[in-house]
Structure 1
Amino acid sequence: MENLAIIGGGNLGRSIVSGLLTSGLFGTTQITVSGKSKKNLTAIKQTFNVVVSQSNTEAIQNAKWILLCVQPKQLASVLDEIKEAIHPDQMLISTVTGVGIQEINKVLSTNKVIRVMPNTGASKKMSMTCIAANNECTEELKTVEKMFSTIGKTLVIEEPLMQAATVLGASGIAFFLRFLRAMIQGGIQMGFHPHEAQIIAVQTAMGAATLVSENDTHPECEIDKVTTPQGCTIQGLNEMEHQGLSSSVIKGVMASYEKINSIK
């Protein structure tokens, strides 16, 4: 792979660096991370031994791929900073929430742009990355798919679905973790020590997801396998539904979706 510059060394950027390095697709000298925080960059250098820079223009000098990994409110200043230094053959990959390809091309009109939305599971090569591109990026899209498939699963989608992909795939990490926390708390109330409850709940969650993934079944099919007539499982499931579990999750997802559509 040709050199990669990552503009933004926050949690998502660090997760991507970690995943890409362990995949073997990039060497440490092929990745440059830029940001304004010297303290943060020092930590990234110590952890991953990649090249770091406080200058975005310096970071992109020798990069074929430029990954924009900043908050929406930071994007305008970043694009303004690099627009005089960027070359037409450099490829932009954007993780920026709520900002479309056309919006980026208004500033950098000669550069191709592909949008991606990975999640922090990237650090464990367990990311779910949704990818969207225009028709003129066919060849580049294949490379971006290859890049992000090394840190988890990828799915190419239409760009109008990128907002929904951010909620379901990226925010979804937090949603599932909140449910996991509740399971752990329930385990503690039943008598397990916190670390014991966490071991059981985490492994159970991993098992549940793996059953659906590897068996290619609907969750309800796997639920049916562990619910017996008048049993404790169906009793618990029904009580959760009486208390609004499914409805609350759907409402939470949609609230997040409404919020993301208002972010500019």
Structure 2
Amino acid sequence: MTVVAVLGAGKIGELVLSGLLRAGWPASKLLVTTRRAARGDELRERYGVRVVDNAAAVAEADVLAIAVKPQDAGTLLAEIGAKIPADKLIISLCAGLPTGFFAARLPEGTPVVRVMTNTPALVDQAMTAISAGPHATGEHLAVAEEMFKPLGATIRVPESQQDAVTALSGSGPAYFYLLVEAMIDAGILLGLPRQVAHELIVQTAIGSAVMLRDSGEHPVKLREAVTSPAGTTISAIRELENHGVRAALLAALEAARDRAREIAAQST
């Protein structure tokens, strides 16, 4: 089985590590690198994986999953880039960084795949977008899919769409959590105990998401099915529209996309 090294086991790196283990990937085939010894000890105890330095990861792994913060990627590649054999597969989990950033710092011909996943990987419900970079083939994309399918759903997209993916699904869970938080507060305002409001909204969110996924219906049709003439729902939707909720979402996602582009520009 392919040996995978996760370089930088922060939040996203640990998501990948734990997901692979839940999917049955042997701990003996997983390596991890960390900046802090205490963090390495924590991961070793929690998952039974081997914690190594960057040089050992490069020497032993077939796939290097780079999960450091985008601003730290240049420093990491300055340390190990020239030592990476061109037949290693590089998977970048660094938000905002194009594959060209890695190609410029790696030996000629090194395949790079760009991946954007999200935190629902913790419950095996991630949405992961995968893009081929320089020298990456369909076989390389298939390896990435094998790694990330156990974490949820995967989709292949052109790399030119990755900043939009980052804005939409990479950051997307935070938008839903904010909406749920606001609806729980509204429930309290309307006189419900917090726990009751929480249970009502969370299950409503789950049920709505499953209907969207499984019914095949457009969200407009599903919304219309709840919206009776002169009823409570249309009154609420009118207020949402009056307060510009739709426009605010459009502006928010554009801001997230633009920030992803800024990160790339600052890193080059």
Please, what TM-score do these two structures have when normalized by structure 2? 0.93
Gaps of 5+ in 2: none
* Inter-partner Cα distance in structure 1 for 2:142 and 2:57: 24
Shift of 1:136: 4.5
For 1:230, the equivalent position in structure 2 comes to 230
* Inter-partner Cα distance in structure 2 for 1:123 and 1:30: 20
Q: Percent identity?
A: 30
For 1:189, the equivalent position in structure 2 comes to 189
Relative to structure 1, is the Cα distance of residues 47 and 200 closer, same or farther in structure 2, using a 3 angstrom cutoff?
Answer: farther
Once the two structures are superposed, the pairs formed by residues 136-175 of structure 1 within 5 Å of their partners are 136-175=136-175
Q: Secondary structure at the match of 2:198?
A: helix
Q: Secondary structure at the match of 2:262?
A: coil
Once the two structures are superposed, the pairs formed by residues 80-91 of structure 1 within 5 Å of their partners are 80-91=78-89
Q: Secondary structure at the match of 2:171?
A: helix
For 1:45, the equivalent position in structure 2 comes to 44
* Inter-partner Cα distance in structure 2 for 1:27 and 1:188: 47
* Inter-partner Cα distance in structure 2 for 1:46 and 1:237: 50
Shift of 1:61: 2.3
Shift of 1:184: 1.1
Gaps of 5+ in 1: none
* Inter-partner Cα distance in structure 2 for 1:187 and 1:233: 15
* Inter-partner Cα distance in structure 1 for 2:42 and 2:138: 36
Counterpart selection for 1:74 from 63, 72, 75:
72
1:132-190 residue CA offsets vs partner (Å, 9 max, x unmatched): 10464121111211221111111111111111111111111111111111111111222
Contact 1:16 1:120 in 2 (8 A): no
Please, what TM-score do these two structures have when normalized by structure 1? 0.94
For 2:207, the equivalent position in structure 1 comes to 207
1:198-228 residue CA offsets vs partner (Å, 9 max, x unmatched): 2221111111111111111211111111111
For 1:112, the equivalent position in structure 2 comes to 111
* Inter-partner Cα distance in structure 1 for 2:45 and 2:189: 41
For 2:132, the equivalent position in structure 1 comes to 133
* Inter-partner Cα distance in structure 1 for 2:168 and 2:220: 19
In the TM superposition, structure 1's runs of 4+ consecutive aligned residues that sit over 6 Å from their partners are none
Contact 1:130 1:155 in 2 (8 A): yes
Contact 1:72 1:98 in 2 (8 A): yes
Question: In structure 2, what residue type is equivalent to 1:157?
Answer: V
